[in-house]
Structure 1
Amino acid sequence: MTSPRHSEDWQDLIAGYVLDDLSPAETAQMQGLLSQPEIQAEVEALQELVDLLDYTPPEQTLPAHLRAQVLTAAQTLGQEKTQAQPQSQWKRRWWVLGGILVALLATLAFDNLRLRQALEQNQHLVSLLRQPNIQLYTFAGTDVEPEAAASLIIHSDRAQATLVTHRLPQLPAGEVYRLWAILETASDPLYCGQFNRDTAEWNLPTAACSQVPSQLLITAEDADAPPVPAGTLVLQSS
C-alpha cells in the first residue's frame, strides 16, 4: 500500500511549474518528470487547488488603488515569511501560491454579490494557506484509479482538514472515501475522517491526525463500516 515518496526537489519543481517560476534547467527537468503519470496528476491537482478561487470575470477591471493594495498585501505576505526565518526556494514558491490566492480573493471582493458569496465560502481556504502551521500534502492515484489525484491541507492548530480531489469517481450510495494516517508511533493506520468526491472539509477526529505522518492513504469504504481500513486503496500521499 506504499510507493516511493517524491523528494522535496520534485515538490519544488511541481510548485514552480504551476507558478511558471522555473529556470530553463528546471523547466527541462520538469518536462522529463511530466512523462510520469503520477507527477502529471499532482500538477493537475495543485493547479485545480489554485483555480478554485479563479472566478474573476474578464469584463471586470480592478481600480488602480485596489490593485495597489492587492500587490502590497501579496508582497507583505512574502516579506513577513522571509523575516521570520531563512527559508528554502520550495517554501518561497508555496508562499507565492498563497499570495496569488490572496490577490484573487481581493478581486472577488470587488465583484458582484455572487462573487462576494464565493469569497466568503473560500476565505477559510486562503486563511489556511497563509498560516505557518499548515501541512500541505499531494496524493497520486493507485493502479485502481491511476488518473486520480488530490491535495490536502491540514491546519494543526484547528485540527481541521481541507481536501480537493481531481478525477476521483463518485462512489455508489452507502460508500465513502476515508483518510488514514500512517504514523511511526502507531502499528495500525489511524482513521482521520471521511468525505465524498470533489472538495471537502472536516474536523479531524483526533489530534494525532495533525502529526506529520509517514504516509497518508485514501480508501473507498462502506459508510457503516468500523474505522478500520478494509476497502480499496485509491490514493496515497507522494
Structure 2
Amino acid sequence: MLLFSQSLRRHNVSIPVTRLLGHSRRSISASTALLFSLSSSSRSRRPPDDKRPIVITGPSGSGKSTLINKLFKDHPSTFGFSVSHTTRGPRTGEQDGVAYHFVSKEKMQQLIDDRQFLEHAIFSENHYGTSKKAVEDVNASGKVCILDIDLQGVQSVRKAGLPARYVFVRPRSLGLLETRLRGRGTETEEAIQKRLERARAEWEYGLDPTHFDRVVVNDELDQAYEDLCDFIFEHQAQ
C-alpha cells in the first residue's frame, strides 16, 4: 500500500472518479435531468493544482450524487471515471470493462485476498470494489479522482493509505433528509428506516471536524455546488 501511495506522489498523478456506493451503486448516468438545467458556475476555472483524489460522502438523500454529476458535466476534461469490479451479471447494454469489470465470485475473492482493492463492499448479495490497478490504469489521463462512497468506504480508503481530500455533504437537518427520502416515493417504510438509521451514524461521523477537510451544507443546490467547487479549485478562479 505504501508503494502505491509513493507512486502517486512520485508521478504527480491524478485519479479519475470511481463510483463506490456501498449501499446504492447507482450509475452516474442515472442522475436526474434536472441537474443539467442548473446554471454553470459563473467563474472560469482551470484544473486544480492539488491532484489528490477527492472523497465525497454523505447520507443517502444529501444530494451528493447530483453535485458530482454536475461537476462532471461542467468540467469533463478535469474529472474522469474508473471502472469498478462486480460479481453481478451485466445488464442490458452494459459492456465488460466499460460499465464494470464483471468477474466471478471466485475471482473477486482472490483479488480481495491479494489486497488488490482500495475499497469493496457487498450490496444485494453482490460484491463491488475498486482495485488499485483500475485506478492506476487511468492515472495517465491527468484527471482528478472523485470517489463517491459511503461511510464504510471512507474508512476503508483511509486505511488503504490513499492520499486524498475528504468532503462531507449533508442537508441542513436530519428532518429535511427524511423529507427528501420520503419524497422519492420509491422505497418501503422498512427501507426508509434503514436508510435513516445509516444516515444518523454518518451524520454523527461527519460532526467530527477531524474527519473531513470540508463540509458542504446542501440546502440550495447551486450554492452547495459553488461551495464544493470553491474547495476543489481553491483560489484558482480566473
The bucket for the TM-score relative to the shorter chain is under 0.3
Higher relative contact order (CA 8 A, sep 6+): 2
Identify the structure with the greater strand proportion.
1
